[in-house]
Structure 1
Amino acid sequence: MRDLMRGLAVGAVLAVAVAGCSSPTAAPRDDAAKGPVKVGLVYSKTGALASYGKLYAEGFRAGLDYATKGTGKVNGRAVDVTEADDAGDPAKAVSAATDLIGKGTQILAGSTASGVALQVAPVAEQNKVLFVSGPAATDAVTGINKHTFRSGRQTTQDVRTAAQFIGDAKGKKIVVFAQDNAFGKANVDGVRAVLGPEGATVEGLLVPAAATDLTPFAVQAKAAKADLLYVAWAGATANAMWSALGQQGVLDTTTVVTGLDIRASYAAYGPIVGKVNLLSHYFAGAAGTDVEKAMTDRVTKAGGEVDLFTVDGFTAAQLVVHAVEAGGDDVAAMVKALEGWSFDGVKGRLTVRAGDHALLQPMFQAKLDASGPVLVKRIDAGTVAPPEKK
C-alpha cells in the first residue's frame, strides 16, 4: 500500500490492435492537414516522486510507439508531446498546464502526485481539455469532472486488494500509517470506507511529510496494538520508515500490509521482508500478457527498465491515441470515446467505467525473494472495483 502505499503511495487506443477501437466498416481517416496533435505531459521530473515520474514518462513513450504502430501519428497527424516538470508542486503543475493550454494543447497527461492531480483536474474542466491523470492514487480524482480520466489504479483498488489478506474485518482494529498529505489522507479515507462497513475500527496515524526522524511515529504505531497496520507511503523516506518500524518491533507484533514499491526499494526490506504482506499495482512480469511484452521490449530498447509506474504511462498513451482517433480535435467526442471503452492493456483487460471514469483493472499479491517479486495471486478487476460515484 505505499500509492497505496508508498507511492503506494501513479492510454490511447491501440487503434488497430485492440477490439473496440472504431467501427470495422469505417474508412481510415487522414487529418494530416490539421497539423500535429499537441499533448502536454506534466509530471514529476524532479522532486520527491521523480523516480516515479521517470517510469511514467518512459512508459508513455513506449505506449505511444505501440499505439501508433511505430509511426508517432494518429490519423496522419504527428503527436507532438511537450514535457513539463511540476516537481510535485500543485502550483507549478497548474502554471505549466495553463501555459500549455494557452499554446493550443487540448490533451494533458501526467500527475505523479495526488495533490497535483486534484489541482490540474479543475483546470482541465474549466478549459474544456482532456486530462488523463497518472500514478496519482487518490480516489478523489475518479468522478471529479467530465474531462478527467486516469491511467493508473486508485486507493480503493489498493485497499480492496489488501483486504484479501485479513479475512473477516469485523471487530478488528486497523491503523493506517501514512504521510500527512493528500495521498496519505486518501488512504485513511479509503481504508475506512472499505473496511469500516465490514465492522473494522479504522484510525489514521499521519506523519508530517517533511519528517526525517520517524522513530517517534514507529513507537506510536507499536503502542496502537493494531490487528493490522496498513502502510501507505511514498517517496524518498520509505527506507527510513521501514527501518524505524523494524527497529521498534512493530513487524513482530502486528500484521503489516503494504504495497510493493519500485525496484530501488526492495533492499530496504532486508530481513523484514518475510514479515510484510505485499499488494501490488504492478511489477515487471506480473501480467504475462502480449501487451506487457510489447511494453517491455520498447522500454528496454530505449535504455529503461520496466517497473511499478511504467504501466501507467503506457496506458495513458493508449487512452490518448484512442481519444484522438475517435475525436480528432473535438474534446467532447474524445470524452465520449473513452467512456465505457474496454481494451487490452499491460495488466490485461481494462475498462474505463462510463459513469465516473474509474479505470477497472486487475491487481496482484506478491512476495519478495532474492530474485525480486514473485506473483502470489492475481485479483480480478471486479473484486477490487471501487464503488461507482454518482
Structure 2
Amino acid sequence: MKGHPLKRALLVGILGLIGGLAQADDTIRIAHIYGKTGPLASYGKQSHDGLMLGLEYATEGTMSVNGHAIEVIEKDSQLDPMLGRSLLEEAYDEDDALLAVGPLASSVAIPMLPVAREYRRILLVEPAVADTITGSRGNRYVFRTGRSASQEAVANAIALGQPGVSIATLAPDNDFGHDTLAAFRQALTGTGAAVVHQEFVPAGTANFEATAERLFAALADVAGDKVIFVNWAGAGDPLASLTAMNPNPAEIRFAANGGFLSTLAGYKAYEGLEGANYYYFEHPSNSVNDWLVEQHVARFGTPPDIFAAGGMTAGIAIVEALRRADSTDTDDLIATLEGMHFNSPKGDMLIRASDHQTLQSMYHFRLRSEAGVEWAIPELVREIPWNEIPLPEGH
C-alpha cells in the first residue's frame, strides 16, 4: 500500500472495519507465509502439508466452513524477515486475506507482528518459537498454536526434575539460550533437582572441548544423579563432543530436547538420552493423530514430523474458530480464539486468553536404537499434560 501516509492510515482503518463484512459473502482467504524455498524448504513443506491436512480434516474434506469456501494463498518468505513483513502486508491488502499463518523462523515472525496490529487482522504463528512472539512483542491480533521455546524448556525440567539430581546446562549465548534456561531453572523449583553449573557459548561454536571439560569438572565432586542438559540451537554438535569426552559414562548422563526425524537420525549414538519433545508420531494416542499418520504415510510416504503436526493443528484451530464464531469479523474471531479448547494431533489444547499462547501436552522420552529404524526412537516415558506445565505468562 503506497501513497500519502494519512491516506494510507485511513485506508488501513477502513479495511480493518469492513474486512469482516467483505469476507462474509466471499471466499475465506488464508495466507500461508513460510520458507517455501531456501535452506529450510523441507521444513516449510512439512508445515504447508500439515496445514492443508488440518483444513481438510476439520472441514471433513469440503474445504469450506459455514457455507464459505476456504482458499489458501502460498507466499514464500525465503526466510527473509523484511520480505516476510511485506508479504503479510500484501496478503492483508491486495489479497484481502482474512488471516495469515506462519512463518517458520522467529526472525521472520517478529517483524510481522506489528503488521497484524496495523491491519487489524489475525496472524496465527506456526511454528516460530521465540517467547517474545506471545510476550513482550505480541499484540491482540497475534496467536500461536505452536510451542514456545520456554514451553519445551519447562517440559524438560519436569522430565528431569527428581530429588537428588544435579544438572549442568549448555545453551547458546543469546536470548533464546538465556530465556529458555531461566524458565528451565524456575520450573525445577520444588522438584529436589538443582542446576549446579551453566555454560553459555556462541551459537556458531564448533569446538566444544573446553566447554565439555568445564561441565564435567562441575559435576566431578557432586553426589547422586548427574545430568548434562543440552538446550542447543546452533551449527555445531555439542552432544558428539560430550559423548566422546565423558570421563564417567556410568555416572553422567545426557539430556536434550527431542527433534525432527532428521535430528533423531543423528541421535542413534546417544541411546539412553532423555528429555522432552513436542511431537513424535507414535506418542499421541487419539483419532486425530491416527488420521494424520495414516494420511501422511499414504500421501507422502513418510510418517508426519514435527511441523506437519503443527501445521495440522493450525488448520484445525482456524476452522474451529470460524465455525464457533459463525462470523468472519476479526473481533468475533479473537473473542472465540481466546480461551478456546480444541482437539489436535496432540489431543486437547487451550489457547490461553491472557497471552494467546496455546497450552499443549509435551512428551517425556528416552532414546533407544532399533535395527531397521534409521533414527533413534524417542521411547515414551509419559505424556506431560498441559495443565502440569507451569508456563509463565508471556512465554
TM-score (norm 2): 0.79
Q: Note if contact 1:342-1:351 (Cα within 8 Å) is conserved in structure 2.
A: yes
Return the letter of the residue paired with 2:100. Answer: L
1:55 to 46, 57, 79: 46
- 2:76 is matched with which residue? 85
**Distance in 2 between the 1:46 and 1:179 partners?**
27
Q: Note if contact 1:32-1:77 (Cα within 8 Å) is conserved in structure 2.
A: no
SS in 2 for 1:351: strand
**Distance in 1 between the 2:23 and 2:352 partners?**
31
Return the letter of the residue paired with 1:376. Answer: V
Q: Note if contact 2:157-2:185 (Cα within 8 Å) is conserved in structure 1.
A: no
SS in 1 for 2:123: strand
Query: Which deviations, in whole Å up to 9, do the C-alpha atoms of 1:206-259 show, x marking residues without a partner?
Result: 443444455555455445549543322347x46x33323322328836442211
Q: Please identify, of 52-61 and 320-329, the stretch whose mean Cα deviation from structure 2 is larger.
A: 320-329
Shift of 1:62: 0.7
- 1:8 is matched with which residue? none
The count of aligned residue pairs is: 356
What does 1:1-390 align with in structure 2 at a 5 Å threshold?
34-103=25-94, 104-143=96-135, 144-168=138-162, 172=166, 174-175=168-169, 177-195=170-188, 200-201=194-195, 205-215=199-209, 217-219=211-213, 221-225=215-219, 227-234=226-233, 237=235, 240-249=237-246, 252=249, 254-274=252-272, 276-303=273-300, 305-325=303-323, 326=325, 328-369=327-368, 370=370, 371=373, 372-389=377-394
Shift of 1:69: 1.0
Q: Note if contact 2:153-2:181 (Cα within 8 Å) is conserved in structure 1.
A: no
Q: Determine which structure has greater relative contact order: mean sequence separation of CA pairs < 8 Å that are 6+ residues apart, divided by chain length.
A: 1
**Distance in 1 between the 2:275 and 2:312 partners?**
23
- 1:4 is matched with which residue? none
SS in 2 for 1:287: coil
Q: Please identify, of 82-91 and 144-153, the stretch whose mean Cα deviation from structure 2 is larger.
A: 82-91
Q: Sort the Cα spacing of 1:48 and 1:35 in 2 relative to 1 into closer, same or farther, 3 A.
A: same
Q: Please identify, of 324-333 and 208-217, the stretch whose mean Cα deviation from structure 2 is larger.
A: 208-217
Q: Sort the Cα spacing of 1:379 and 1:127 in 2 relative to 1 into closer, same or farther, 3 A.
A: same
Return the letter of the residue paired with 2:305. Answer: D
Q: Sort the Cα spacing of 1:257 and 1:38 in 2 relative to 1 into closer, same or farther, 3 A.
A: same
**Distance in 2 between the 1:48 and 1:169 partners?**
42
- 1:18 is matched with which residue? none
Shift of 1:94: 1.5
Q: Note if contact 1:188-1:204 (Cα within 8 Å) is conserved in structure 2.
A: no
Q: Please identify, of 139-148 and 277-286, the stretch whose mean Cα deviation from structure 2 is larger.
A: 139-148
Q: Note if contact 1:47-1:87 (Cα within 8 Å) is conserved in structure 2.
A: yes
Q: Note if contact 1:192-1:202 (Cα within 8 Å) is conserved in structure 2.
A: no
Return the letter of the residue paired with 1:122. Answer: P
- 2:10 is matched with which residue? none
Q: Sort the Cα spacing of 1:246 and 1:130 in 2 relative to 1 into closer, same or farther, 3 A.
A: same
**Distance in 2 between the 1:133 and 1:307 partners?**
18
Q: Sort the Cα spacing of 1:48 and 1:204 in 2 relative to 1 into closer, same or farther, 3 A.
A: farther
Q: Sort the Cα spacing of 1:83 and 1:277 in 2 relative to 1 into closer, same or farther, 3 A.
A: same
**Distance in 2 between the 1:331 and 1:209 partners?**
39
Shift of 1:341: 1.0
- Structure showing greater radius of gyration is 2
Q: Please identify, of 37-46 and 184-193, the stretch whose mean Cα deviation from structure 2 is larger.
A: 184-193
Q: CA RMSD in A?
A: 3.0
SS in 2 for 1:355: coil
Q: Note if contact 1:64-1:72 (Cα within 8 Å) is conserved in structure 2.
A: yes
**Distance in 2 between the 1:254 and 1:363 partners?**
25
Structure 1: tracts of 5 or more residues without a match: 1-30
Shift of 1:271: 2.8
Q: Note if contact 1:179-1:207 (Cα within 8 Å) is conserved in structure 2.
A: yes
Shift of 1:364: 0.8
Query: Which deviations, in whole Å up to 9, do the C-alpha atoms of 1:130-150 show, x marking residues without a partner?
Result: 111112222222252211111
Return the letter of the residue paired with 1:138. Answer: A
Q: Note if contact 1:49-1:113 (Cα within 8 Å) is conserved in structure 2.
A: no
Shift of 1:339: 0.9
- 1:25 is matched with which residue? none
Shift of 1:333: 0.9
Return the letter of the residue paired with 1:44. Answer: G
Q: Sort the Cα spacing of 1:181 and 1:331 in 2 relative to 1 into closer, same or farther, 3 A.
A: farther
Q: Sort the Cα spacing of 1:343 and 1:115 in 2 relative to 1 into closer, same or farther, 3 A.
A: same
Shift of 1:97: 1.5
**Distance in 1 between the 2:80 and 2:197 partners?**
28
Query: Which deviations, in whole Å up to 9, do the C-alpha atoms of 1:299-318 show, x marking residues without a partner?
Result: 22331531122211011001
TM-score (norm 1): 0.80
Structure 2: tracts of 5 or more residues without a match: 1-21, 221-225
Q: Sort the Cα spacing of 1:221 and 1:201 in 2 relative to 1 into closer, same or farther, 3 A.
A: closer
Taking only the aligned residue pairs, the percentage that are identical comes to 29
